[in-house]
Amino acid sequence: MNSHENSIKRKYTIEDLENILDSIPNCIWTKDKNGEYTYVNKTFSENMNLSKDEIIGKTDFDFGNTKLANIINEDDKKILSRNIPTLSENKINVKGKKRWFEIYKTPLKRKNNNLPWIMAIARDTTFDKTLDEDLQNLFNSNELNNDIILPLINTKDIINNKNTSNKYLYKLQKIIDSLSSKLNTEGISLFLYNKSDKCLNLYLNAGKSNIDIKEIVPLTNNDIINLNKNVYNNVFEVSKNSIFSTYQKKYQKNNSIYCIRSCSIKYSNDLIGVLNIYYPANYTPKFSQEDFIKSTCNKLGILIKNHILSCQLKNEFQKRLYIEKELELFLDTATDSCALVDFDGTFLKISNNFTNTLGWNEDELLYKKFQDLIYPDDIEKSNNFRKNVRNSGKFKGSGLIHRYLCKNGQYKTLEWNWNLIQDKNHIILTGKDITEEKKLKEEKKHLEETIALETLKTTFFANVSHEFRTPLNIILTAIQLISIKLSNCPCSEDKEKIFQYIKGIKQNSYRLLKLVNNLLDLTKIDGGYYELKSIKCNIVNLIEEIVLSVADHIGSKKREIIFDTTEEEILTSCDPEKIETILLNLLSNAVKFTKENDSIEVNLNVDSYYKNVVISVRNSGSKIDKEDAKIIFNRFTQLDNLLNRRCEGSGIGLALVKSLVDLHGGDIWVNTLFEDGAEIIFTIPIKELESKEISEFHTKTLNANIERYNVEFSDIYNL
């Protein structure tokens, strides 16, 4: 120290200097060349969570983190060897947490001592670093990804829908929490400006403020003007006339908050919101916070505005995506096939229904041209269509029908409607598969022709039958008169021979009459005007009396008929005359195929549910196989070859029998399991009528129809 320096009297003490260093919010320390701490200020010791005495005289290796100690030791050696100061940013573990520090180190030469020291100052930049990282992460997350899916238009949408954007809200809350901790405040509230409702809506809270999240601060027109004029652009304390004055009084009592500092959040002079910072009474911050608060508010303004813009873009993107998906869904669910082709016939886009119709998948069709699928005979029509579209100036049309090749090799007929996109030379086609419709039309036409033919045939049979009946009645009447006259004639050498001729004429007339009657009955049934005259009767007696009435006639043919039943009485509703027709036809058929001196069996039972009467007619003729059993009840069907028939018959008797059984609601079939001949079985449902009177089908009535039996058995010859 020279004489001048000695003449200067210091006006401060070492204690004054240490108090000054302890009041600085940054960490300050000195080390000797061996790395031992020679001085630390209060902020440093607080960060280390140790007293000054516990730190001074020790090296970094004494605090347990060898890896960090090695890094610091190497850095200190470089500074001493180079003899120049350095400024660096380091991440250090403090109290179990990773924190960032901006560290300034410089070599310090001591007076009268050539051994240098190191002096360092470290500023905690953790909040700034974290804030920048969080902001950057939020900017990245606001890109068009799946983290933010809600379309937000303005701050009101953010307020109303904040719970849906979890990542954004979490990061923003983290920034507010960190800011509150950094500024050592009672709490912080973030208000967002709601332009449409002219108010500030509370959006986020941090710290101990416990402010109602539904809080709304209304704004007058004057408040809005002041906000737009940047009156609240800087940090200010809430005054009595401030927009937050009522708000401040409300929470001073509840939370012991006596001071609110506010700063507007803006982006390009557009008000985004307001940041309120709450301090306890008589609180004095260690350093001025205004620039730091303003910087943070500027970053928040960028962040929130970026979020709004990103969501607007996201909203537009989502709308377009939704429209495309909706259109695609419409095309896929539409019953019509849809395709987009160019004038060359190349497929540009196709619907699922189009691929489903033809069987080709989308990739296969996109490699084909429209003409590749068209049926060869329809190609010329397709080419003419494309020429007409080019030359006619028409932009849409319908009724274009082509056949198209399916993947399975078959062809389907499609009918198209089309629209021309003129500026792109594309054609939109919407079509439907009319293959089945076309097939049904052809089948309908064929059916109508068949019905017309059947109607003509039925009418013809009806007319022919009526025309036959008149001459037959005349012939039978004449034969009857001749027989009477001949019977009264005394003697004649040829009398017996004449009677034989008369018998032949009469039998063939009866046969012809039977054919006419059967044709008339079938015609009436086909026409739908054949009615049953059902009565309540004992069907057991009915069947038995019919069998007994024809027993003599069958006996004269040297055949025997046997009736057997397990029931004495079964009351049901039926038409006795039609039942007689059914049974006589079956017996007539059985007589033809029964050998001489054999018997015909008629059996009557009920089914196990007592719902149907089961009647069977058996003969000892040839067995009917399964194939013949399928067609035996068809009209004009005979099982013997027409050139080699053993028995006469028109082939419509069994068809009539089936129709009459069907009218009764019954069923008829051939028992192909019967091995000793042929057996036909039919059923009649057991029905109850309200009438309690039972009609008897008396033998007297049967005897009056002897001529009818002659008619029914008229086609039996040579027996």
CA pair distance 80, 30, nearest whole angstrom: 13
Query: Are 250 and 289 in the same domain?
Result: yes
Query: Are 600 and 585 in the same domain?
Result: yes
Q: Which residue has the tokens 């059993």?
A: 629
Query: Are 627 and 507 in the same domain?
Result: no
Which range among 448-462, 544-558, 608-622 shows the weakest confidence by mean pLDDT? 448-462
Q: What CATH number does the domain containing 642 carry?
A: 3.30.565.10
CA pair distance 185, 207, nearest whole angstrom: 7
Higher pLDDT: 513 or 604? It is: 604
**Judging by beta carbons within 10 Å of its beta carbon (0-12, 13-18, 19+), is residue 265 exposed, middle or buried?**
buried
Kindly provide the residue ranges of all beta strands, DSSP E only, lying in 422-559, ordered along the sequence.
426-433, 535-538
For residue 286 the two structure tokens come to 């260690």
Give the count of beta carbons closer than 10 Å to the beta carbon of residue 169.
15
Query: Are 242 and 155 in the same domain?
Result: yes
Query: Are 509 and 598 in the same domain?
Result: no
Averaged over 462-467, what is the pLDDT? 69
Q: Is 691 helix (H, G, I), strand (E, B) or coil?
A: coil
Query: pLDDT above 90 covers what percent of the chain?
Result: 16
Report the Cα–Cα distance between both ends of the chain, in Å, rounded.
168
For residue 227 the two structure tokens come to 């906000």
Q: Which of 269-278, 311-320, 459-468, 537-546 has the highest mean pLDDT?
A: 537-546
Query: Are 207 and 73 in the same domain?
Result: no
CA pair distance 707, 207, nearest whole angstrom: 119
With a cut of 70, say whether residue 285 has pLDDT above it. no
398 forms beta bridges with 417
Within 142-186, residue ranges assigned H as helices are 155-160, 166-183
* pLDDT tens figures, 77-120: 888 888 889 998 888 877 677 888 899 999 987 766 667 889 99
Residue of 107, 103, 160, 166 whose CA lies nearest to 138: 166
Averaged over 396-400, what is the pLDDT? 78
Contact 686, 613 (CB under 8 A): yes
Give the pLDDT score at 668: 95
pLDDT bracket for residue 541 (50, 70, 90): very high
CA pair distance 334, 329, nearest whole angstrom: 8
Q: Is residue 717 part of a domain?
A: no
With a cut of 50, say whether residue 699 has pLDDT above it. no
Q: What is the 3-state secondary structure (H, E, C) of 452-502?
A: HHHHHHHHHHHHHHHHHHHHHHHHHHHHHHHHHHHHHCCCCCCHHHHHHHH
Give the pLDDT score at 694: 60
Q: What is the 3-state secondary structure (H, E, C) of 633-655?
A: CCCCCCCCCHHHCCCCCCCCHHH
With a cut of 50, say whether residue 145 has pLDDT above it. no
Q: Is residue 598 part of a domain?
A: yes
Give the pLDDT score at 616: 95
With a cut of 80, say whether residue 55 has pLDDT above it. yes
Averaged over 414-423, what is the pLDDT? 78
Residue of 187, 185, 183 whose CA lies nearest to 208: 187
Q: Is residue 327 part of a domain?
A: no
Give the pLDDT score at 615: 96
For residue 284, what is the enclosing H or E element?
Answer: none
Higher pLDDT: 459 or 134? It is: 459
With a cut of 80, say whether residue 689 has pLDDT above it. no
Query: Are 187 and 303 in the same domain?
Result: yes
342 forms beta bridges with 426
With a cut of 90, say whether residue 59 has pLDDT above it. yes
102 forms beta bridges with 89, 123
Give the pLDDT score at 397: 76
CA pair distance 564, 4, nearest whole angstrom: 159
Which residues make Cβ contacts (< 8 Å) with residue 338, sequence separation at least 6? 331, 350, 351, 353, 354, 428, 429, 430, 431
Q: In Å, what is the CA distance from 560 to each residue of 542, 682, 712?
A: 19, 21, 18
Residues in the chain: 719
Query: Are 608 and 674 in the same domain?
Result: yes
Q: Which of 144-148, 370-374, 416-420, 668-672 has the highest mean pLDDT?
A: 668-672
Which range among 20-29, 178-187, 584-593 shows the weakest confidence by mean pLDDT? 178-187
Q: At what angle do helices 576-593 and 653-663 cross, to 10 degrees?
A: 150
Q: Is residue 477 part of a domain?
A: yes
Query: pLDDT above 70 covers what percent of the chain?
Result: 75
Q: Is residue 319 part of a domain?
A: no
Higher pLDDT: 141 or 564? It is: 564
Give the pLDDT score at 235: 53
Which residues make Cβ contacts (< 8 Å) with residue 480, sequence separation at least 6? none
Q: What CATH number does the domain containing 81 carry?
A: 3.30.450.20
Of 433, 463, 480, the residue at which a domain comes to its end is: 433
Query: Are 148 and 278 in the same domain?
Result: yes
Contact 209, 278 (CB under 8 A): yes
Number of structural domains in the chain:
5
Contact 414, 404 (CB under 8 A): yes
Query: Are 470 and 548 in the same domain?
Result: no
pLDDT, averaged across the chain: 78
Q: Is residue 323 part of a domain?
A: no
Q: Is 37 helix (H, G, I), strand (E, B) or coil?
A: strand
With a cut of 90, say whether residue 549 has pLDDT above it. no
Domain carrying residue 223: 129-313
Radius of gyration of the chain (CA): 57
CA pair distance 697, 549, nearest whole angstrom: 12
Higher pLDDT: 677 or 177? It is: 677
CA pair distance 633, 651, nearest whole angstrom: 9
Contact 574, 539 (CB under 8 A): yes
With a cut of 60, say whether residue 193 has pLDDT above it. yes
Q: Please give the single-letter amino acid code of residue 360.
A: W
Q: Which of 188-197, 585-594, 666-675 has the highest mean pLDDT?
A: 666-675
Averaged over 209-237, what is the pLDDT? 61
Q: Is residue 227 part of a domain?
A: yes
DSSP string, 588-629: HHHHHHSPTT-EEEEEEEE-TTS-EEEEEEEESSPPP-HHHH
Q: Give backbone dihedrals phi and psi of 627, rounded to 5 degrees, phi first.
A: -65, -45
Q: What CATH number does the domain containing 162 carry?
A: 3.30.450.40
CA pair distance 177, 188, nearest whole angstrom: 8
Of 281, 313, 345, the residue at which a domain comes to its end is: 313
Q: In Å, what is the CA distance from 366 to each residue of 362, 378, 405, 426?
A: 6, 21, 15, 15
Of 124, 157, 189, the residue at which a domain comes to its end is: 124
Give the pLDDT score at 645: 40
Query: Are 416 and 541 in the same domain?
Result: no
Query: Are 536 and 517 in the same domain?
Result: no
Higher pLDDT: 172 or 75? It is: 75
Q: In Å, what is the CA distance from 538 to each residue of 481, 548, 662?
A: 39, 16, 20
With a cut of 90, say whether residue 40 has pLDDT above it. yes
Q: Which of 196-210, 412-426, 608-622 has the highest mean pLDDT?
A: 608-622
Residue of 166, 120, 106 whose CA lies nearest to 21: 120
Which residues make Cβ contacts (< 8 Å) with residue 530, sequence separation at least 6? 521, 524, 663
Give the pLDDT score at 583: 92
Higher pLDDT: 684 or 703? It is: 684
Higher pLDDT: 189 or 705? It is: 189
Q: Which of 187-201, 289-303, 316-330, 611-625 has the highest mean pLDDT?
A: 611-625
Residue of 13, 45, 11 whose CA lies nearest to 26: 45
With a cut of 60, say whether residue 717 has pLDDT above it. no
Q: Is residue 87 part of a domain?
A: yes
